[in-house]
Amino acid sequence: MGKPTGFMEYDRQLPADRPPLERIQDWEEFHGRLSEEEMRRQGARCMDCGVPFCHSGILLQGMVSGCPLNNLIPEWNDLIYRGQWRKAVKRLLKTNNFPEFTGRVCPAPCEGSCTLGIHEPQVTIKNNECSIIDRAFEEGWIKPQPPAKRTGKKVAIVGSGPAGLACADQLNKAGHLVTVFERADRVGGLLMYGIPNMKLDKRIVQRRIDLMVEEGVRFITNTEVGVVYPAERLQEEYDAVVLCGGATKPRDLPVEGRELEGVHFAVDFLTANTRSLLDTGRAGGTSISAHGKDVIVIGGGDTGTDCVGTAIRQGCRSVVQFEILPQPPEVRLPDNPWPQWPKVRKVDYGQEEAAALYGKDPRNYQIATKRLVGDDRGRVKEVHTVRVDWDKDENGRFVMRELPGTEKVWPAQLVLLALGFLGPEDTLLAQLGVERNQRSNVKTQEGSYATNIPGVFAAGDMRRGQSLVVWAIQEGRGAAKEVDRYLQNE
């Protein structure tokens, strides 16, 4: 540790974001950068603690604590402090294929379990990670590195999200011939279409895709395996198949009026906007627009926040966000100790922008949607809600209770459902005869990525359910290791 007293001498500092009212005028990323000197100070804050939890990647009370990729965080923090950036990027890439993605969109469970965070603001691990990889690309240190030798074994990967990309990258490095199938018109899965451009610039995604192509990975787009490309053909033409199609079946809202025009799944709204942005710079508009409308986002997670930020940039008249759970506390409660993930109230970029534009946080907690009401042309015009409370039943489980007299009618011409995802879609799995578990995800052998079908593996959200990008990368890496053993018989 280069600066033993760094955590006592320096305060946590993040780069300043562009002001909310400025950044909502465009679709560009809005995070700033620290100077070299400031970055070195932030690296010096890492304590190099005797038992670091930041890279543990364990589950505590059903929540991840530390980085699932087991990133060597204390090592590259110290290298930042010493100004040894080239060594820092080598340590970073040893465990993470795509730090330029996680450094932008990961919620940073590493910081939630930072030892310094017990009594001081935690180390800026996420920003440090992003700074390392961005500098590496800018300095030209990241170059194509195709494998020196090929095994001749062919692997098909279905789905080009973070799990599929990580699996493809690892297997290609091992010398296998990798083909990635993507049903959309662009590669990247949720990285491309599920996350807005201001949060993850698509040039960053495409830069990595182009690098992988130069290294020998083959991508086939506009091809949905199981629909236009028979699943059986995969098994005939490839030595192994890895299913990385994600948990893409969105959770619906079964209420009266769900069929009305103007009610959409959040993922469809975000996809339509990004596709329009990439195709025409939004010159041609988008098939789902919030312009001039009262928008209600039902769901309080990251996707809901992305809907808020996107609706604002599209020029909505107003935006509110419903969350059925109570508002989190401002500080950790006694039943949520370190190193658990801190269940505290956070203000993300979308809420910050809405507050700056409309004067208040758009989130409304403990709200349940009762029905949607339309006009005489079948278009949604109102959302009817009721406030709820949560009590424990005789078995200690929380049950929801509606509060009489709290009914409310909200104007809305666009309703976005950001309620998460239920699991993978059925067509491909049915064709292959892959078994599924009780949660409808692909069932694999205990401690394994292998399905019940020989030579067919699964990874990412399709196997574990909806999760974080960092988990998807970890799954892709794990599956690649197992596939390599299968192909090489060692």
The single-letter DSSP state of residue 116 is: G
Domain holding 27, by residue range, is 6-138
Split at pLDDT 50, 70, 90, the class of 371 is: very high
Rounded to 5°, the CA angle 485-58-336 comes to 165
Question: Cα(70)–Cα(58) distance, rounded to whole angstroms?
Answer: 10
Reported as a single tens digit per residue, the pLDDT across 340-352 is 999 999 999 999 9
Nearest to 351 by CA among 306, 299, 291: 306
Reported as a single tens digit per residue, the pLDDT across 145-182 is 999 999 999 999 999 999 999 999 999 999 999 999 99
- CATH code of residue 82: 1.10.1060.10
Edge-to-edge strand ranges of the sheet holding 456-458? 218-220, 177-181, 154-158, 240-243, 456-458
Q: Which residue has the higher pLDDT, 212 or 2?
A: 212
Question: Cα(488)–Cα(485) distance, rounded to whole angstroms?
Answer: 5
Answer whether 403's CB lies under 8 Å from 411's CB. Answer: no
417 has a pLDDT exceeding 80: yes
Reported as a single tens digit per residue, the pLDDT across 23-71 is 999 999 999 999 999 999 999 999 878 889 999 999 998 899 999 999 9
**Domain check: are 273 and 242 in the same one?**
no
Beta-strand relationship, 414-417 and 294-298: parallel
Q: For residue 28, is it within any domain? A: yes
Quote the tokens at residue 44: 């010096």
Reported as a single tens digit per residue, the pLDDT across 387-407 is 999 998 888 888 999 999 999
The number of domains in the chain is 3
Q: How far apart are the first and last CA of the chain?
A: 39
pLDDT at 67: 97
**Domain check: are 277 and 367 in the same one?**
yes
Helix, strand, coil proportions of the chain in percent (round to 5)? 35, 20, 45
**Domain check: are 167 and 242 in the same one?**
yes
**Domain check: are 261 and 410 in the same one?**
yes
Bridge partners for 319 per DSSP = 295
- CATH code of residue 455: 3.50.50.60
215: Cβ contacts below 8 Å, ≥ 6 apart = 144, 145, 146, 147, 169, 172, 173
Match 């909502």 to its residue by tokens.
Answer: 24
Q: For residue 147, is it within any domain? A: no
